Amino acid sequence: MTAENFDLLKEKLNGRVTDDPFETSFYTRDMASFPGFLVKLMFRVGAELAARPQSEEDVRQLVAYARDNHMAITPRAGGTSAYMNAVPVSGGMVMDLTGLSGLIRLDKERGVAEVWCGTAWSALEKDLNREGFTLCSYPSSAVSSTVGGWFSMEGQGIGSMAWGCFHDLVESAHVILASGEEFDADAAGPRPLSLFAGKEGTLAIVTRLTFKVVPLAEAAYHVSFAAPSAIVAAKIMDMAEKGPVKPFNGHFADRTCLDFQKRMGYEVPEVSGFLVTLSYRGAAADMAACRAYAETIRLKTGVRLCSDETAAEEWEERLYSLRIKRNGPTLLAAEVILPMARLNDFYGRVKKLRQRVSVYGHMMSGQQANVMAQYYADESQTLRYLFYLAKTKKINDAAIACGGRPYGTGVWNTVYLKRSRDPASLAEAREAKERLDPENRMNPGKFYRPPKLMPPALFGLACFAANLGSRVLRIGRRR
């Protein structure tokens, strides 16, 4: 890159692009905590440029600049992902897309909204509510995560029980390829929407999305059950799914998850197994039917209903799962997709970890759940922390053994690719990557292959050794 054309770019973007290492350094981390020395050893973390486009035209200018200078582009939005998905690992430009924000258009008749990619979900919900509309679904990080971020990830979260994956609610997306070519991707065509959904920014920058929204519901009803076991929790979800009104959302938390909250001083209900919560929304008349059906579930499963306050709190706190973090102070997690029929099996395996692991899950469409298994550690004790980190492999292995898989890929979960993705779809994704981004400039180093320095066999061996060490040294027993 020459000084003149960089100055020109700066001018075009009104100063919203910089090569100041101080500024770029703040775009090099995400939610996960990995020891710095390990990350430095394996990757070239960092970007030469950080840019904050505020319009599609800005994005065009930046993409053209990157193309002309053979530069990698790492799209980044809320930065709430955890597998280095939005962390630049091959230098180049990090593009902070949160400036492309806001509701562009709401078509009330068709029930669709066109939204800029960097819009945070909670802000969008506020805007829609003002117009008498609401979101179908959103991630439980809705306060800061964005529309484009969730489309680029797996798109399962709150509301998925009723509405399925967010990808399927999207009608069209405007995308800009690394070459600078841009188009509206929709269901049909040679480069359909499905090609870009969940690809973690490795194919294109999505600048805006048009997706389904619905009128605000008249009423809501939340109900919590005290299920004695994972088997009963799964049974409740199965019944709920097949009931007269599908819940908008279903989630569950095990006893350990509640204990972690209790340690933080929160009041929690007495539950021996799982706290299962169903949230309904719809016409006021339907809520009576939901209430009656909750009673049917209770009678058929023989479980106890928790208080209305518990159910309401479970709903109100749905975006604040991190409130238990202080006990760690590090909260390590493995997030997996799991068939509900195998929840009990998975739970049994996780409980053998020789450390307390909390299990928390959101229902997805059908009979699957998006499950978060979390445990405490302390990253300030670097050596011990490596042993703790290795335990996530055991959780991911448990999910794979139960017919599930890790949720999200980024860098770290590429080691599970071969075991967790079907070969045909992986080959198809790789082919699309080669076709649409032949120079491998869009978010390189992610999603398709494990890093060279982290082949799955070596990773497996290292984790095996660390987990053996954990067992001998009793690491995590007291947590």
**In the complex, which residues of this chain contact ligand FAD (CB under 6 A)?**
31, 74-81, 85-86, 97, 117, 139-141, 145-146, 148-150, 152-154, 156-157, 200-201, 205-206, 321-322, 362, 443
Instruction: Please name the residues in contact with 318: beta carbons below 8 A apart, sequence gap of 6 or more.
Output: 140, 158, 249, 251
362 binds other proteins (CB under 8 A): no
User: Residues 9, 13, 45, 50: which binds other proteins (CB under 8 A)?
Assistant: 50
Q: Distance between terminal CA atoms of the chain?
A: 51
Residues 299 to 318 in contact with other proteins, rule: CB under 8 A:
313, 316-317
- Encoded one letter per residue, x for contact with other proteins by CB under 8 A and - for no contact, window 57-96 reads ---------------------xxx---------------x
Beta bridge partners of 339: 368
Residue span binding other proteins (CB under 8 A) among the ranges 2-10, 161-169, 213-221, 261-269? 261-269
Task: Specify the 3-state DSSP secondary structure of 252.
Answer: strand
Rounded to the nearest 5 degrees, what angle is found at the Cα of 104, between the Cα atoms of 100 and 108?
A: 150
CB 337 within 8 A of CB 399: yes
Report residue 352: phi and psi, to 5°: -85, 5
Burial status of residue 79 (CB atoms within 10 A of its CB: 0-12, 13-18, 19 or more): buried
Reading the block at residue 48, the tokens are: 């030469």
Q: Which entry of other proteins, ligand FAD, none binds 264, CB below 5 to 8 A by partner kind?
A: other proteins
154 binds other proteins (CB under 8 A): no
144 binds other proteins (CB under 8 A): yes
Cα 347 to Cα 165, 356, 466, distances in angstroms: 24, 12, 22
Q: Which entry of ligand FAD, other proteins, none binds 154, CB below 5 to 8 A by partner kind?
A: ligand FAD
Separation of alpha carbons 418 and 456, rounded Å? 9
User: Residues 122, 194, 344, 367: which binds other proteins (CB under 8 A)?
Assistant: 122
Residues 195 to 224 in contact with other proteins, rule: CB under 8 A:
none
With CB under 8 A, what is the number of residues at the site for other proteins? Answer: 43
Q: Which entry of ligand FAD, other proteins, none binds 143, CB below 5 to 8 A by partner kind?
A: other proteins
Helix (H) or strand (E) run with residue 62 in it: helix 56-68
Count of all residues that appear for the chain in the document? 479
Q: What is the contact surface with other proteins in residues (CB under 8 A)?
A: 16, 18, 22-23, 25-27, 29-31, 50, 52, 78-80, 96, 99, 120, 122-123, 141, 143-144, 264-266, 313, 316-317, 319-323, 325-326, 328-331, 378-380
